[in-house]
Amino acid sequence: MKKLPASLFRPTLLAVLAVGPTYAAEPNPAEKPNAPPVKQERIEVQSTAQPDRVSSTDSRQIVTRQDLLKFGDATVAGALARVLGVTLATVPGQSAEVRVRGLGAGYTQITINGDPAPAGFSLESLSTAQVEQIEVIRSPRADTSQAIGGVINIVLRKAPSTQQKDTRELRLNVRSTVGKVVGGGSGQYAARREQFAYGLTASVDVADTINRWTDLTDEARNNIPQFVRISDGLQQNKLQTFSLAPRASWELSKTTKLQFDGLAQHQQRRFTALETRQVVFGVPPLYPISNSYLDASTNDLRATLGANHVAASGALWEIKLVANVLDTRSDGWVNGLTTDRRLLLDRVLSAKLRDASVASTGRVAFELGANHTFASGWSLQSTHRDEDRIQRERIFITPTPDNLDEGYVADISRLSLFAQDEWKMSARLSGYAGVRWEQLKTDTVSTGNIAPDTLAKVVQTTSHISPTAQVLWKLPGSENHLAKLSLGRAYKAPTPRELIPRRYVTNDNNPTLPNFQGNPSLRPELSWNVDASIESKLPEQQSQALTFYYRRINDIILPLVSQDGLGRWIEQPVNLGSAAMMGLEAQARYRLQAWDKSLPNIDLRPSLTLNRSKLSAIDGPNNRINQQPRLVMSLATDYRVKAMPIAMGANFRIEQVGLTRSAPNQSYQLNTRQFLDTYVLYGPVKGVSVRLTGQNLLVPKHNLIRRYYDSNITQTKTQSALTQRTFRVEVSMPL
């Protein structure tokens, strides 16, 4: 009889106990009560891993719909934080940035059903009710959008297949954070009538969060202290989100099928912030009190029409047309006040963004022989992006008002061609080879009152060829132990925001909170990627995997802070040298009853991620990717009560970032944080369930230290923000 190490069992048991209900030993057969007369639903807690992960030659992870709903996350962003190698770079009051292996915006590509999401799309705006599964693809392939960090592909819910029954489902939830009670709900209807299937998913959610923080800012010039200030801030962020997703499929014949997927989302955001600055020593701030308000509305419409056909020769043809419109409008104001509430600054803001795109993709795949498949295809996308920002100021003290009328119009075209060959060379060896050619053209024109000496028009065309090779080898002596190796190339083109010299203005301009301005001279970043892993399927649905990765990024884009002629601090992206990244990822799934049948029915899923990076243009030590976690460790547990319709679980994780020097004159330091999420699922009647969840139960502090330094000035800003627990109750039932 195998014994589970006590060092692993104790923390697991503690995590399960943290759920709420205390685990009681299962009674002997003679002591078990009779089953209740009401039919009870058997609740199974399944693994995240899917069969295609093992058989695929690339490095990927599948997040199922069950895992998305397990901890009651209202949006996709929250659920991704528990996926191996994925972290959320968060600042209270701001949108979370999803990172794969510590690489964030631009490096991690977000796709919807395989097609790139529009600029401005946020995972925090997408309800989990609309999603069937999420694929996290870490190694590049020729037939997918490529990114240096990886690809997060969101698969929306589909129309039912011929084997599925009509579905009518309703989910309602109520949650509480810092005493505020909000909630939402979702409903799904899906049916099939002979060869025609259709469905509709609708969701609504209301969120109301309050964030408090404290800033300590000090500055010295030529080693002489200038000031020390303490700021207290209070933010309130109200979000109302509504989404509607229709879908349909039509089997024209046994070999031809049409399908339609749509997604319509509306989000209304109201944001208020109050910041009070006190002088401990030295020069007082320009505005001792700052008060701001923002009202923003976002509409996102997406439609996809696809067809696939199997020819008489056996070749599979697929074609897809995608149209997407993202429209955002916001109005707000910022007031700067004296300590006695006398008005010093009155700034009015108005902004709008419209991103409209159409895309066409196609693919043909056919057999070259037994266990040998060749595929090729294309992707063509055209995007028109129009953004404007108007700022008007009334200033009652000496500084000159910043009356800005800025924006840009961008036309972006992307063309991709690919070819790939997959074959099973023997019972133990499978291979993949592919090549992708991609061209990106960006034509942008700045508008408004941009200074004459600023480049108002930017035209940039970049293209690259990305070869990819992958090998899967089943180790001798077993069908369940395999090794994978992936070699490939990826690139990151500068975004329009990084290229256009439009200025994004901050409220309290200083070295640690500068304005942002694009750089039309940016070059794309190129990367060589290596992924190697060993994976094992163990008895009784157990598994374990170990992955090593390496990235070599040339012409990496880093932020550079400097002052303009008027003394305003500006952050601008520049190409600065190269970066080397490497890391280890380990994950496993174990079942206690596979070790000893007398143990409770608990699944354990430990994981560990170690990341290391080095920037060639920055002096060490700690010259690495900005806010990249050095260590992410987690332990997830699931437990099903025998003979009762109850399942429960917990997810505990630690994120350690530490100090990063990610620019020639800047550094960031983030504290180590611990997170604990729990759930209890109760299903007394078939199809009906009640889910209780608790998120962020340890309430970690968010302590971020930003530092700017040059030969004359040193400024340090230490921000300490509080986080909140969230408790949620969700009821799911058929209709």
Structure confidence at residue 44 (pLDDT): 36
Structure confidence at residue 573 (pLDDT): 93
Question: What's the whole-number mean pLDDT along residues 189-195?
Answer: 88
- The structure's pTM equals 0.83
Question: Measured in whole angstroms, how far is the alpha carbon of residue 174 from the centre of its chain?
Answer: 24
Name the residue with higher pLDDT: 529 or 18. 529
Residue 29 has pLDDT above 50, yes or no: no
**pLDDT tens column, 50-98:** 334 555 777 778 888 888 888 888 888 888 888 888 888 766 555 677 8
Contacts of residue 501, defined as CB under 8 A and 6 or more positions apart, other chains included, come to 446, 450, 454, 455, 456, 517, 518, 519, 520
**Rounded to whole angstroms, how far apart are CA atoms 535 and 547?**
8
Q: How many H helices and E strands in the chain?
A: 6, 37
Residue 8 has pLDDT above 60, yes or no: no
pLDDT band at 565 (very low <50, low <70, confident <90, very high): confident
Question: What's the whole-number mean pLDDT along residues 341-348?
Answer: 92
Structure confidence at residue 90 (pLDDT): 67
If you write DSSP's letter for every residue of 595-630 in order, what string do you get? H-TTS-SEEEEEEEEEEEEEETTS-SSS--STT--S
Structure confidence at residue 374 (pLDDT): 94
**pLDDT tens column, 223-257:** 999 999 999 999 998 999 999 999 999 999 989 99
Structure confidence at residue 422 (pLDDT): 92
Question: What's the whole-number mean pLDDT along residues 671-683?
Answer: 94
Structure confidence at residue 398 (pLDDT): 67
160 CB neighbour count, 10 Å cutoff: 18
Question: What's the whole-number mean pLDDT along residues 154-174?
Answer: 80
- For 699: left if phi > 0, alpha if psi spans -120 to 50, otherwise beta; the answer is left
Question: Do 409 and 448 form a contact (C-beta atoms < 8 A)?
Answer: no
Highest mean pLDDT among 32-46, 97-111, 374-388: 374-388
User: What percent of the chain clears pLDDT 70, i.e. is strictly above it?
Assistant: 89
| Secondary structure class of 178 (helix, strand, coil) | coil
Name the residue with higher pLDDT: 25 or 72. 72
Structure confidence at residue 38 (pLDDT): 39
pLDDT band at 419 (very low <50, low <70, confident <90, very high): very high
Residue 3 has pLDDT above 80, yes or no: no
Residue 345 token pair: 């600054």
Question: What's the whole-number mean pLDDT along residues 117-143?
Answer: 83
Residue 452 has pLDDT above 60, yes or no: no
